[in-house]
């Protein structure tokens, strides 16, 4: 995570959460990705009337980072108004693993409670790019 404090990532993710489009669940989520350049990329969940087309905040933020040309994702923070910390869903864990097994995943709630886990530890025995041998 380098010089970036987890609290700073969480603060940015909380800002992104304000823009969540969650008319169906009412469950707003914010995320921020720290790229290798040191830049931050925000994401919020984007729901859809066709529920399965909904996007999670983490994947929106990751997409922004990749689209901007980031190649070395350092950290991802995710925050929601949960009792305990908010952890990424299984789909997001799979997408995270695509971009690194050593990404710091900061899982937080609106009270500022948080826990940091490496992406690999969130997804043991993950199917990843190396298995395709390309
Ligand atoms: Zn997700």
- Check if 71 is active-site: no
Three-state DSSP class for 95?
A: helix
Spot the catalytic one: 42, 47, 58, 120.
Answer: 58
Dist. CA 113 → ligand 1 center (Å): 19
pLDDT of the residue at 133: 84
d(CA 111, CA 119): 23
Is 0.75 topped by the overall pTM? yes
Where the chain has pLDDT below 70, the residues are 1-3
Which among 94, 90, 62 is positioned nearest to 75, based on CA atoms?
Answer: 62
Dist. CA 5 → ligand 1 center (Å): 23
Q: Residue 121 half-sphere exposure, CB side, CA atoms within 13 Å?
A: 10
Dist. CA 4 → ligand 1 center (Å): 23
Dist. CA 38 → ligand 1 center (Å): 23
Cα pseudo-dihedral 45, 48, 50, 51, rounded to 10: 30
Dist. CA 78 → ligand 1 center (Å): 10
d(CA 36, CA 133): 25
d(CA 111, CA 105): 17
CATH code, 6-132: 3.40.140.10
d(CA 118, CA 92): 13
Domain ranges in the chain? 6-132
98-134 pLDDT tens trace: 999 999 999 999 999 999 999 999 999 999 888 998 7
pLDDT of the residue at 17: 98
């Amino acid at each position: 995570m380098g010089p970036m404090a987890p609290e700073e990532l969480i603060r940015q993710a909380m800002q992104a959460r304000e823009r969540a489009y969650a008319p169906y669940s009412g469950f707003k989520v914010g995320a921020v990705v720290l790229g290798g350049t040191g830049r931050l990329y925000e994401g919020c969940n984007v729901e859809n009337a066709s529920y399965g087309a909904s996007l999670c905040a983490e994947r929106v933020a990751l997409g922004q980072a990749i689209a901007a040309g980031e190649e070395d994702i350092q950290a991802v923070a995710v925050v929601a108004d949960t009792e305990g910390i908010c952890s990424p869903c299984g789909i997001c864990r799979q997408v995270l693993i695509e971009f690194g097994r050593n990404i710091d995943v900061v899982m937080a709630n609106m009270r500022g409670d948080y826990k940091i886990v490496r992406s690999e530890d969130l997804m043991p025995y993950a199917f990843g790019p190396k298995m395709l041998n390309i």
